[in-house]
Amino acid sequence: MATAANPTRDDFAALLNETLGGENEGFEGRVVKGTVTGIENDMAVIDVGLKSEGRVRLSEFAAPGQKAELAIGDTVEVYVDRVENVHGEAMLSRDRARREAAWDKLEAEFSTTARVEGVIFGRVKGGFTVDLSGAVAFLPGSQVDIRPVRDVTPLMDIPQPFQILKMDRRRGNIVVSRRAILEETRAEQRTGLIQSLAEGQVIEGVVKNITDYGAFVDLGGIDGLLHVTDLSYKRVGHPSEMINIGDTLKVQIIRINKDTQRISLGMKQLESDPWEGASAKYPIEGKFTGRVTNITEYGAFVELEPGIEGLVHVSEMSWTKKNVHPGKIVSTSQEVDVVILEVDQDKRRISLGLKQAINNPWDAFMEQHPVGSTVEGEVKNATEFGLFVGLDGDVDGMVHMSDIAWGVTGEEALALHHKGETIQAVVLDIDPEKERISLGIKQLERGGVAVGGAAGAAAAAGTISSSGGGSSQGGVNKNVVTTVTVLEVRDGGLEVQMGDDGVTGFIKRTDLGRDRDEQRPERFQVGQKFDAMVIGFDRSKKPNFSIKAMQMAEEKQAVAQYGSSDSGASLGDILGAALKARNEDS
């Protein structure tokens, strides 16, 4: 082989290979076995059968966190990086040898999803480094444990199993998980434990965590939820009112969902149910004392005994206070008397009444102030149709505008009184069921008017009775004929007044005459006077008049006195005789 005048290092290596017959070919990039021939300071001298020996740091022969146990004569595997360096020594690496062997093994285990053993030995951004028998893997922080771990120190430098999630040999990347192993182990334990449990079974557990809606109880490897509604039959605002973390509880298994592996627990199920026999314990209309536990917009809940609550609806809280928030009537923890209104034992519901536990003020008022008595009160409000007056017992009465004063219109009557004024009135009507009291002011000023005009002449002649055997209101008798004055002409009839300054009333359109032509309100004028009969009273005690009824009554009287069915006289003859007799008497 010809050589250059100035041979290079490569030329020398080629000449050496040629001289040695190529015995060094194939060593580089391989893992080979060697013998430890010496230990110098922190280096091990290793003979791998090459021209020269190589040196490897002792730390490469030690596991993370441990010392190397190496002696002269030991056989070790090393990776040949180069056959010879500038110092004429072989370049060897124990780490590379372990890494290459580890990668071969890990790839086989990854293909079969087998677990691998490793040691956590360092921290990096986002997680930790793990030694897998020479290969370095990355352990993300989220894959350390099932729950977040604040201190990982107890887990470091300890051999433990891992699951390979991803690996790329070309890039040298391996990602492992410790959490996957723990979840798999826990799932196996949970499955076995769930198989050993049964609904209705009573077991003991330890409170691990408390939330607003309940507590998680460790049953020995699996957690169950103890909901706040299953802690006790009585109302529980928060689980911490009854239990604390670390408490050992005796609970009953209510439900087991083997698909989701969720277990529901209960404590109150170990107690006697207070709702058993509730219908007998709390009869309808029975009166009991309870404690207000909760107040809502629609009412208040009252505890009758631990575990049994009833609802007092806002409509059953007060006889007199309407549209008021329940919190303005009762307060939390207040002791109150209530009456049982309804019991539904199946739905565990009891309807209670607060106002029924006290006397109905409307009944009490009717006993103390019967119809016709005089009362005194303050005008609380004036509306377009009357006055509301505050009365004894915190009840209100109403004075209709037609019962305020005689001889004036409704609007004029309303202007006579104002809010805050103290007035006297007569009780006209009381309806306790509808909670209504009708009052009258004008009835104190005037009791009625005398019968006069043509009606008086007719009564004197004996044609029409002054009382007529009818009822009376405010001194005005039913079936009495009197003179009225037109106050207002309406489409439906006439607003009239008895005498010049008396009771006002109304004549309906159909009562203006017997014939259709006479039943026209427009044929009358304001101020016009005529006779009419009182035929009844409306709800506000105003009299209703009728010309038609008066005509029919006069006709009946005339027929009775001046004719008969077999006399042969016509109705005109009979009425003519009656009118002649009236004129002669007058």
Same domain, 216 and 255: yes
Same domain, 33 and 91: yes
- pLDDT: which is higher, 139 or 43: 139
The phi and psi torsions of 554 (rounded to 5 degrees) equal: -65, -40
- pLDDT: which is higher, 16 or 107: 107
Same domain, 557 and 458: yes
In this predicted structure, what is the pLDDT of residue 86?
Answer: 62
Strands (DSSP E) contained in 306-385 are 308-313, 335-344, 349-353, 374-382
Q: Domain total for the chain?
A: 5
Same domain, 255 and 292: no
In this predicted structure, what is the pLDDT of residue 351?
Answer: 93
Do the Cβ atoms of 44 and 61 come closer than 8 Å? yes
Asked whether residue 147 is domain-assigned, the answer is no
- pLDDT: which is higher, 499 or 249: 249
CATH number of the domain enclosing 381 = 2.40.50.140
Asked whether residue 134 is domain-assigned, the answer is no
Asked whether residue 183 is domain-assigned, the answer is no
Q: Is the dihedral of CA 233, 235, 236, 241 positive or negative?
A: negative
Choose one of 341, 357, 373: the last residue of a domain: 357
In this predicted structure, what is the pLDDT of residue 455?
Answer: 37
Pairing between β-strand 287-296 and β-strand 529-537 as defined by DSSP bridges: unpaired
327-364: pLDDT as tens digits: 988 999 899 999 999 999 888 899 999 988 888 888 88
Report which DSSP code applies to 51.
S
Same domain, 396 and 479: no
Choose one of 357, 374, 403: the last residue of a domain: 357
- Determine how many CB atoms are found less than 10 A away from the CB of residue 34: 25
| Cα–Cα distance for residue pair 376/424, rounded to 1 Å | 4
Give 153: exposed, middle or buried? Use CB within 10 Å, 0-12, 13-18, 19+.
exposed
| Cα–Cα distance for residue pair 550/484, rounded to 1 Å | 13
Segment 375-391 mean pLDDT: 89
Residue listed under structure tokens 């798999």: 184
Residue listed under structure tokens 């107890």: 154
Q: Which residue range(s) make up the domain with 206? A: 197-270
Angstrom CA distances, 7 to 4, 10, 86, 132, 160, stand at 5, 8, 16, 46, 56
The phi and psi torsions of 156 (rounded to 5 degrees) equal: -85, 150
| Cα–Cα distance for residue pair 18/529, rounded to 1 Å | 155
Q: In the chain, pLDDT over 90 holds for what percent of residues? A: 17
Transcribe 415-473 into DSSP letters.
TT--TT-EEEEEEEEEETTTTEEEEESHHHH-------HHHHHHHHTTSS-SSTT--EE
Residue 443 has pLDDT above 60, yes or no: yes
Asked whether residue 112 is domain-assigned, the answer is no
Report which DSSP code applies to 474.
T
Same domain, 50 and 77: yes
In this predicted structure, what is the pLDDT of residue 409?
Answer: 76
pLDDT band at 447 (very low <50, low <70, confident <90, very high): very low
Asked whether residue 74 is domain-assigned, the answer is yes
Asked whether residue 108 is domain-assigned, the answer is no
Asked whether residue 276 is domain-assigned, the answer is no
Give the pTM: 0.41
Same domain, 250 and 323: no
| Cα–Cα distance for residue pair 192/187, rounded to 1 Å | 9
pLDDT band at 47 (very low <50, low <70, confident <90, very high): confident
Most confident among 32-41, 72-81, 210-219 (mean pLDDT)? 210-219
Same domain, 353 and 367: no
In this predicted structure, what is the pLDDT of residue 69?
Answer: 74
Same domain, 462 and 546: yes
Asked whether residue 258 is domain-assigned, the answer is yes
185-239: pLDDT as tens digits: 877 777 777 777 888 888 888 998 999 899 999 887 788 899 998 888 888 889 9
406-417: pLDDT as tens digits: 767 777 788 888
Q: For residue 406, which of 580, 220, 543 has the smallest C-alpha distance?
A: 543
Q: At what angle do helices 453-460 and 571-585 cross, to 10 degrees?
A: 100
What are 364's two structure tokens?
């009490």
| Cα–Cα distance for residue pair 194/197, rounded to 1 Å | 5
Do the Cβ atoms of 545 and 532 come closer than 8 Å? yes
Same domain, 477 and 527: yes
Segment 125-141 mean pLDDT: 89
520-573: pLDDT as tens digits: 899 999 888 899 998 887 766 788 899 998 888 888 877 776 555 444 444 455
Same domain, 457 and 555: yes
Same domain, 372 and 439: yes
Choose one of 383, 413, 445: the last residue of a domain: 445
